[in-house]
Amino acid sequence: MSETKEWPPLSPVWVGLRGCCPRCGKGHLFKGFLTIRKECDVCGLDFSFADPADGPAFFVMCFGCVPAVMLAVWIEIAFQAPYWVHLVTSVPFLLLTCIPPLRPLKAWLVASQYYHKAEEGRLVRPEEA
C-alpha cells in the first residue's frame, strides 16, 4: 500500500502481546494459530523479513515446560500419585503453560526483528562488496 507514510515506532512488547502488525499496530500478524501472514492487511507491510525460527518454542520450554515437569515430578515423589491424578493435574498445567504463550512470544520476536531492523548476518556488508 503506502510506502511513503511515516510510521511511529511501536513497542515490540505491546504489539507482540496483541499479535498486531509491528509497523501500524492495527493489522493482524497471524492468519492461523502460528502461521504468519504474507503481508499486513492494513498497511501492506511485507512479513517476509520475519523469521523467529525456534525462539518461541525455546522460551516456552525454558519458562513453561520446566516448571510444569517439576510440578509433575513433585506430585509423583511427594504423593506417589496414580496416573489419573497426573492426567487431571499435570497434563492441564503442562498444556496451559506451553500452548498459550507461543503466539504472543512469536509475535513479540517478529515485532522485535522489525523494530531493531534485524537481518541475516553477513561477513561483508553489501555496500563494501
pLDDT at 120: 81
pLDDT at 90: 94
pLDDT at 32: 94
pLDDT along the chain (129 residues), means of 10: 75 95 96 95 94 93 92 96 95 94 96 91 74
Structure-block grid coordinates of residue 102:
507461543
pLDDT at 4: 62
The pTM of the full predicted model, rounded to 2 decimals, is 0.84
Nearest Cα neighbor of 65 from 102, 103, 114, 19 is 102
Q: Do residues 68 and 52 touch, judged by C-beta distance below 8 A?
A: no
Domain locations in the chain as residue ranges = 12-115
